Amino acid sequence: MLLIMRRLGCKEVADSVLDELKTKTEDFTKQGNRAPSLAVLLVGHDAASETYVRKKAEACARLGFLHFQYSFDEDCSESELLTLIDELNGRDDVDGILVQLPLPASISERRVIERISPEKDVDGFSPVNAGRLLIGEDCFVPCTPKGIMETLRYYGVETAGKKAVVIGRSNIVGKPMAAILMQRGIDATVTVCNTKTPDLREYTLQADIIIVATGHPGTIDETYVKDGAVVIDVGVNRIPDPSKKSGYHLSGDADYASFTNRNVSITPVPGGIGLMTVSMLMSNTFEAAMRRRG
Ligand code: GUN
C-alpha cells in the first residue's frame, strides 16, 4: 500500500533551535554575561505537570541555563505564590519566570500570572504580552503557538493567502495562535472554532492548515481534512493502557492513524509540537536575558 501521509516530526526542528541557542549562549557568556536563568514554580503533584517541568529543567541543563525550581504542596496559598513572584521579579539573577498551569482551583491563575513582571513573563501569558501580541508589537510570544510557527517555517508551509482553522480558543494556544496567523506578514485567513461550533467539517474541509488544540482525542480524523492540507496536532492526552509500563500511552487530538493513506501532512504525538513548546521556552528565556542586559 502506498503511504502518502507526510509526518512532520518535530525532534529535528527542536534540536536545530536548541543547538543554535546553545551556540548563542556560549557566545553570550564568553562576553562576560551570566548565563540566562529561568525560575519555574510548580504547585501540587499533577503527573503531566511534573513531566513538563522536568523537561524544562533538562532543556535548561542542555543549554547551560541557570534553573531555579520552586515546588509547593497542593494546599499552598495564593499569597505564598504572590510573595515568591514579587521576590523573583526583583531578583537580578532571574531572567524568566514561569508558573506551571493548571493551578489548584483555590488559586486564581489570572492573579498569579498578572503578578509576573511582563519583562520576565517568558510564557507570554500576562495581559501586557497578550495585548502586545494582538496589536503586533514586540513581546514574548506564547511558546506553543511560537513553536507551531517555527515548525511551519521549517517544513516550508506557506501561510500567506491560506485558510487556517484553529480548533480551540484557550489563552495558551488557540487565541494567540489565531492572533499570530492573522498578523501582517503571516497573512492567513483565520477561523477559530470551539466546542459549540455546530458542524466542524464545514470549516475544516476548506482549511489548508488546521491547528487542533482541544485537549480531546479524536476531535478530528481524516474525514475532516481535504487533500494536501497540513494538520498541527497540539493535544497531549494520556490514554489508559495496561500494556504500557507507565499505564498509559499518549494520543493527540487528531486520530493520527486514520490519515495513513491520505495526502496530508501531520505532526505526530509524541514527537511533535510538545518538543517545540519546550524549545521556544528556552528561546524566550534567552531573549529575556538579552533584553535585560539592554
Ligand atoms: N500548562 C500547559 N501548557 C503550559 C505552558 O505552555 N506553560 C505553562 N506555564 N503551563 C502550561
The pLDDT tens digits along the chain (294 residues) read: 566 999 999 999 999 999 999 999 999 999 999 999 999 999 999 999 999 999 999 999 999 999 999 999 999 999 999 999 999 999 999 999 999 999 999 999 999 999 999 999 999 999 999 999 999 999 999 999 999 999 999 999 999 999 999 999 999 999 999 999 999 999 999 999 998 999 999 999 999 999 999 999 999 999 999 999 999 999 999 999 999 999 999 999 999 999 999 999 999 999 999 999 999 999 999 999 999 987
d(CA 249, CA 45): 19
R_g (Cα) of the chain, nearest Å: 19
210 - beta bridge partners?
A: 165, 231
pLDDT of residue 60: 98
Residue of 107, 123, 276 with the most ligand 1 atoms within 8 Å of its CB, for mutation: 123
d(CA 209, CA 229): 6
Q: Which atom of ligand 1 is nearest to the CA of 123?
A: 7
Residue tagged active-site, from 95, 100, 146, 253: 100
Assess whether 123 carries a catalytic annotation: yes
Question: Three cell numbers at 291?
Answer: 533584553
CB atoms within 10 A of CB 3: 9
Q: Which atom of ligand 1 is nearest to the CA of 102?
A: 1
Closest residue by Cα to atom 11, ligand 1, is 101
pLDDT of residue 293: 86
d(CA 116, CA 88): 9
Question: Three cell numbers at 100?
Answer: 506551571
pLDDT of residue 294: 72
pLDDT of residue 119: 98
Assess whether 31 carries a catalytic annotation: no
11 - beta bridge partners?
A: none
Query: CB–CB of 168/197 below 8 Å?
Result: no
pLDDT of residue 2: 60
Amino acid at 201: R
What's the gap in Å between 281 CA and the centre of ligand 1? Answer: 10
Query: CB–CB of 209/152 below 8 Å?
Result: yes
Residue 293's Cβ-side half-sphere holds a number of Cα atoms within 13 Å equal to 15
Q: Which atom of ligand 1 is nearest to the CA of 98?
A: 9
